[in-house]
Structure 1
């Protein structure tokens, strides 16, 4: 698999998002998920993405078990900053140095490793200014516990302020055919500073694949509560993606992913999508998207879809 450079961190051009292996998308399956992560490594994926809040720590333990014996072959990315200890209806976005350092130590313990390759601040903090939070993360770099720093869900101003404290390697944001907010909020600052993009939910949380049956989702599936999934007007977006795919003899998921891969030149930054899946079948399909080339005519059809979305992301 080809590689990408995210602000100095070399990683596979496509990664694996692991959140859904522990929560949000139905019942977790430990053994199936372990098999999927290991198959991803076999196929050349080196960017493995998790966070301390996914499954209340379950996901970091899962990822840690999966990479045993292969630590030097992967870049482990995890996150800090969201405190869910008061319940999911009372999140606190934290950034106090003591909290961040304690979170890092706990993540290292769960993962079973001595350093984190890419450590994100999961959301802009409410409890301190971003400079203080990033300053604490910078100290973790000096201590050797963290190699590179990242931010998630920030705008250009916050990115510049953080980067002035310590170089930021990557910004992780939702980015797909139907979620393009970052193009106007942070992409300019990323180009200016040489920061890469790690794109989560590049398949629109499965919507763009055309394979999500809302009536068949488990009760604990987060998509039951996402406004865009309830808007039937958005079905036309998935239909267009499917039509492009059928004309090319590939899947809708592969077209959606190929579009994200194609955006590096347009955005002027390295883009590494991290589609998430619990199953080897979908993992292999996602990786095959790297062989799909979108023509100028394909892109002309797909480009307007971002302006046709109805409903908020969350």
Structure 2
């Protein structure tokens, strides 16, 4: 028998020269699938991108363009940044944008810190009250506190009309905690044991061994927390009676969803005479607020997307 006999399995996975290897269980793509997949993806992209395009174009339109279109503008004409100049020249929207940015930064940092500490403690089998605490965390998936008990608790802690009421009640997510714990459990115990032999304490193990190996899950969980804080408006609606402390999303809900006039004349600031801009129409101002609320997340997401598979999917499967 010749020593150069061909392995049937290898032959089944190797196609004609110049073609990528394909497993035997994977069918050859048909001509319809080759053409249909790009078409379907293009349609899905247009369904997602077109509304955002209309919002951006309308926010950059003048009064004449909005009047000519009878509402939302599809074809850009007479583009101007007057709406953004009016919004960012002071007033409620500018203040709300600063408040939302600060709450997102502080809340994300605080939530990441306590989530990492809790996840590391729950990932160590010999930690104190490991199983009871894990059971309590898992129990929150099934039972929520409700609005009235939450409000009474926040009120008893003296957090009404305080920015702490926007951070502390949602400071930790059970889902993010479980995902991060599962990722930590996937780190080889030999690395942690060797660090302990060298005299490292638990905090040193966490900061010098675990965290450098967990950048993916930290980045993704941080994105989850940041998006949650940035988009949150319900807690602000419940706990903030002073409208000068409103975050951007509550301003967005009040001005666009409920069609109410903003306090303190927000959006009514005239354009700077030095720029030669005329006041923008109310519809352009509304769309500009939407853009300001959406764009930060769109700018951050592409930098975190590469970590999703390693950080969340792997952690969730291991958990």
Larger Rg: 2
TM-score (norm 1): 0.24
Q: Which is richer in strand? A: 1
User: Structure with the greater relative contact order (CA < 8 A, sep ≥ 6): 1 or 2?
Assistant: 2
Q: Which is richer in helix? A: 2
